[in-house]
Amino acid sequence: MLEFESLINIPTPLIEILDDLFVENDVKVFVKRDDLTHEHVSGNKFRKLKYNLLEAKNMGFKKILTFGGAFSNHIAAVAEAGFLFGFDTLGLIRGDELNAESSPTLKFATQKGMKFEFVSREAYRNKADLTSVFSNEYFVIPEGGSNYLALKGVAELLEEQLYPDYICTAVGTGGTMAGLLSNVKYEGEVLGFTVLKNGDFLKDEVSFFLEKDFPENAELETRFHFGGYAKYNDELLSFIKTFESKHGFLMDQVYTGKMFFGVYQMIKEGYFKKGTRIMLLHTGGLQGRLSGL
Ligand SMILES: *Cc1c(COP(=O)(O)O)cnc(C)c1O
């Protein structure tokens, strides 16, 4: 067995947050604090890694290969997981002009023992070719950590408290949203907030991971991308700052800030029925939080 539960802080707490807006609209809002899963590497990336790591171990792999950009939460999580659970890790990083000093994420991953190959953007697009060179020796985890093994780890988090009426999550690749929907016991709604522009295609991604049509209890909200992946404006940053000082915990401007902003907006718009219990999944990502935000 992998000592997963002893090194990662799960189950994570569920806290209720209070706001006049929620009283006015008669909703209850809870935050599932997956940002607390680990001191350095918070959030859904560990949920997604759990069964991948177990599978790697069961198959006898000692090395893990994965992919990402220079600021990727997933790269940070794989590096930390390798360190904690005794795997050598190799990151194929997008951008052959980069080196191990190019970002705080890569510096952190280096400290955790990760090695890198820096590949051109063109080569990066052909991940299958790149992977074939390594796949005998390495257990390969896709970009963002999303695969069928990831779904199971995410589905588990719903078992840690009573089911809400809605669960809201930020959506990057769709793996986390699919994971929540893959829990067949949960019959509430899953509302995904895409963090990139033109996010409609993510419906197909979620379906792909689930191996079925986009479920009836799922909805994808594509309005709150703030110009695209990792883009932000003053309105978003000011929302985050106000929220943080009021509630005493942090969020990032790439994923969780956009989702929380979107939920507040939709509460204002009267989207949620009276009496609804809404759970916001804090997917972490604080290693990518803008410093001095
Ligand atoms: C990766 C990530 C997401 C998106 O998860 P997907 O499974 O790729 O949709 C959301 N929030 C944070 C903080 C992340 O790092």
Kindly report, residue by residue over 203-217, the tens digit of the pLDDT: 999 999 999 999 999
> Are residue 157 and residue 271 in the same domain, yes or no?
yes
Tell whether 1 is covered by a domain. no
Ligand 1 centre to CA of 236 (Å) is 18
Report residue 135's pLDDT band, with 50, 70 and 90 as the boundaries: confident
Buried b (16+ CB within 10 A) or exposed e, 95-118: eeebebebbebbebbbebebebeb
Looking from the CA of residue 42, the nearest atom of ligand 1 is 13
pLDDT category of residue 128 using cuts at 50, 70 and 90: confident
Does pLDDT of 257 surpass 60? yes
| Domain CATH number, residue 243 | 3.40.50.1100
Domain count, the chain: 2
Q: Which of 105, 122, 145 is the last residue of a domain?
A: 145
Q: Is residue 4 assigned to a domain?
A: no
Region 183-204 average pLDDT? 98
Task: DSSP letter for 290, please.
Answer: P
Asked if residue 112 is part of any domain, the answer here is yes
Determine, yes or no, domain membership for 225. yes
Say whether pLDDT at 267 is over 60: yes
21 & 78 share domain: no
Neighbours of 219 (CB within 10 A): 17
Q: Percent of the chain having pLDDT more than 70?
A: 99
Residues 283, 173: one domain? yes
Q: Are residues 119 and 215 in the same domain?
A: no
For residues 73 and 31, give the distance between their C-alpha atoms in angstroms, rounded to a whole number.
20
Nearest CA, atom 10, ligand 1: 170
* 140 and 161 part of one domain: no
Radius of gyration over alpha carbons of the chain, in Å?
19
> Would residue 35 count as lying in a domain?
yes
Residue 2 lies in a domain: no
Do 267 and 163 fall within a single domain?
yes
**Is pLDDT at 251 greater than 70 in this prediction?**
yes
pTM: 0.96
Q: Is the CB of 171 under 6 A from ligand 1?
A: yes
**284 in the same domain as 179:** yes
140 with 66, same domain? yes
The alpha carbon torsion through 131, 136, 139, 141 (nearest 10 deg) reads 10
CA distances from 87 to 44, 58, 104 (A): 20, 13, 22
Could you list the residue range(s) of the whole structural domain that residue 158 is in?
14-40+147-288
Do residue 63 and residue 200 come from a single domain?
no
- Using an 8 Å Cβ cutoff, are 63 and 88 in contact? yes
pLDDT digits (tens, 9 = 90+) for 5-22: 788 899 999 999 999 999
Q: State whether the beta carbon of 199 lies less than 6 angstroms from ligand 1.
A: no
Q: What percent of the chain has pLDDT over 90?
A: 90
